[in-house]
Homo-oligomer: A and B are copies of this chain.
Amino acid sequence: MGQYHHILLAADFNAESAQVEQRAAALRDTFGASLSIIHVMEPISIAYGGEFPVDLGDLHKELEKQAQTQLRELGQKLNVPQERQFLEVGITEKEILRVAEENGVDLIVLGSHGRHGLALLLGSTANAVLHHANIDVLAVRLNKDSK
């Protein structure tokens, strides 16, 4: 039980994410495991205020295109093939969990902001993932928030 075989990196493409990405890749190398990457786009809220008319369909497509590009670039950087790159739309924790379960993931790696603590920042994500899945979670501290 000591080894992990399939690691899922939950990527959010923030400036601070490089630490988490590097950590996940290093763990992949150390364990000789597979590495997958997931990025979840939460659905665009309708609650924009409505001052200006916006075609949310177009906006979503544009955001999805950007995310796809970032995911591809990250995949290349970490040497993760396209079939292990998951761009999903939905509730973050549900999508992470679904992809993890469907792909036999045994370790989820995600970033954690110290200022808020794991519970507050990851909140529903960590809760839901740990509530439903029999999967370990590694919370990597993001330096930017360490004080």
Contact = CB atoms under 8 A, between A and B. Distances in A.
Copies in the complex: 2
Interface of A: 1-3, 19, 22-23, 25-27, 29-31, 112, 114-120, 122-123, 126-128, 130-141, 143, 146
A46 to B, nearest CB: 29
B141 A139 contact: no
A127 B136 contact: no
Nearest to A30: B30
B130 A139 contact: yes
A126 B130 contact: no
Contact of A136 (B1, B23, B29, B135): B23
B2 A25 contact: yes
